[in-house]
Structure 1
Amino acid sequence: MSTGATAVWGRVEQQDFRSRVRGCLLGGAIGDALGAAVAGLSLEEIRAAHGTDAVTDFVPVHGRRGAVTAVTQLNLFTVDGLIRAQVRRDTGAWHPPTDVYRAHLRWAATQHEWGPDERRPENGWLAREEWLYARRAPTRECLTGFGDATMGTLDRPKNPVARDSAALTRSAPFGLLVGWEPQLVLQLAVECAAQTHGHPTALLSAGALAVMVHGLARGETLDGSVQHALALLAERPGHEQVTEALKQALGSVRQGIPGPALIEALGDTDSAEEVLAVAVYCALVGEDVRHGLRLAVNHGGPSAATGALCGTLLGTLHGETALPPAWLAELEGRATLLELADDFAMEMTQGPALHSPSAAAPGWLTRYPRG
Structure 2
Amino acid sequence: MMPLWSRAQQQDFRSRVRGCLLGGAIGDALGGGIEFEQLEQIRAVHGEAGVAGYVPAYGRRGAITDDTQMTLFTVDGLIRSHISRDSGAWHPPSDVHRAYLRWYATQQDWGPDERRKDLGWLGREEWLYARRAPGQACLSGLAGTENGPLPTVEEPRNPGSKGCGTVMRAAPFGLLTAWDPALVFQLAVECSVLTHGHPTGYLSAGAFAVIVHAVARGGTLEEGVHLALALLSERTGHEETTAALRAALDAVRAGAPSPERVEELGEGWVAEEALAIGLYCALVAEDVRSGLLLAVNHSGDSDSTGSICGNLLGALHGETALPPDLLAELEGRGTVLELADDLVLELLHGPELHGTEAWSTRYPVAATG
Question: Shorter chain as normaliser: what TM range?
Answer: over 0.9
Identify the residue that residue 98 of structure 2 maps to in structure 1: 102
Identify the residue that residue 192 of structure 2 maps to in structure 1: 193
Identify the residue that residue 84 of structure 1 maps to in structure 2: 80
Identify the residue that residue 147 of structure 1 maps to in structure 2: 143
Q: How does 1:169-180 map onto structure 2 within 5 Å?
A: 169-180=168-179
Q: How does 1:308-327 map onto structure 2 within 5 Å?
A: 308-327=307-326
Instruction: Deviation per CA, 1:230-287: give whole Å up to 9, x if none.
Output: 1111111111111111011101111111001111111124111011001110000010
Identify the residue that residue 261 of structure 2 maps to in structure 1: 262
Instruction: Deviation per CA, 1:92-114: give whole Å up to 9, x if none.
Output: 11000000000000000001111
AA matched with 1:263? V
Identify the residue that residue 123 of structure 1 maps to in structure 2: 119
Identify the residue that residue 301 of structure 1 maps to in structure 2: 300
Distance in 1, Cα, partners of 2:365 & 2:192: 23
Instruction: Deviation per CA, 1:126-185: give whole Å up to 9, x if none.
Output: 000000001000011111111121321111111110011001111110011111101010
User: Shift in Å at residue 14 of structure 1?
Assistant: 1.0
Identify the residue that residue 336 of structure 1 maps to in structure 2: 335
Identify the residue that residue 112 of structure 1 maps to in structure 2: 108
Distance in 1, Cα, partners of 2:5 & 2:47: 49
Identify the residue that residue 369 of structure 1 maps to in structure 2: 364
Distance in 2, Cα, partners of 1:30 & 1:318: 14
Distance in 1, Cα, partners of 2:339 & 2:350: 14
SS of aligned partner of 2:264: helix
Q: Is the 2:167–2:201 Cα contact (8 Å) retained in structure 1?
A: yes
Do structure 1's residue 17 and structure 2's residue 13 form an aligned pair?
yes
Distance in 2, Cα, partners of 1:47 & 1:261: 13
RMSD: 0.9
Q: Is the 2:267–2:273 Cα contact (8 Å) retained in structure 1?
A: yes
SS of aligned partner of 2:34: coil
Unaligned runs of 5+ in 1: none
Do structure 1's residue 277 and structure 2's residue 276 form an aligned pair?
yes
User: Shift in Å at residue 9 of structure 1?
Assistant: 2.2
Distance in 2, Cα, partners of 1:339 & 1:289: 22
TM-score (norm 2): 0.97
For residue 75 of structure 1, the aligned residue among 60, 71, 95 is: 71
Distance in 2, Cα, partners of 1:218 & 1:21: 11
User: Shift in Å at residue 120 of structure 1?
Assistant: 2.0
Between the aligned residues of both structures, percent identity stands at 61
Identify the residue that residue 164 of structure 2 maps to in structure 1: 165
AA matched with 2:255? G
Distance in 2, Cα, partners of 1:354 & 1:112: 33
Q: Is the 2:259–2:294 Cα contact (8 Å) retained in structure 1?
A: yes
Distance in 1, Cα, partners of 2:268 & 2:101: 27
Distance in 1, Cα, partners of 2:67 & 2:203: 18
Identify the residue that residue 226 of structure 1 maps to in structure 2: 225
AA matched with 1:279? G
User: Shift in Å at residue 40 of structure 1?
Assistant: 2.4
Distance in 2, Cα, partners of 1:22 & 1:51: 32
Distance in 1, Cα, partners of 2:365 & 2:286: 44
Unaligned runs of 5+ in 2: none
TM-score (norm 1): 0.96
SS of aligned partner of 2:235: coil
User: Shift in Å at residue 6 of structure 1?
Assistant: 5.8
SS of aligned partner of 2:165: coil
Instruction: Deviation per CA, 1:302-342: give whole Å up to 9, x if none.
Output: 10110000000000000000000000000000000000000
AA matched with 2:359? W
Distance in 1, Cα, partners of 2:356 & 2:97: 25
SS of aligned partner of 1:153: coil
Distance in 1, Cα, partners of 2:51 & 2:365: 44
Distance in 2, Cα, partners of 1:201 & 1:322: 32
AA matched with 1:354? L
User: Comparing 143-152 with 293-302, which one deviates more in the overlay?
Assistant: 143-152
SS of aligned partner of 2:37: coil
Runs of 4+ aligned structure 1 residues displaced above 4 Å come to: none
User: Comparing 268-277 with 88-97, which one deviates more in the overlay?
Assistant: 268-277
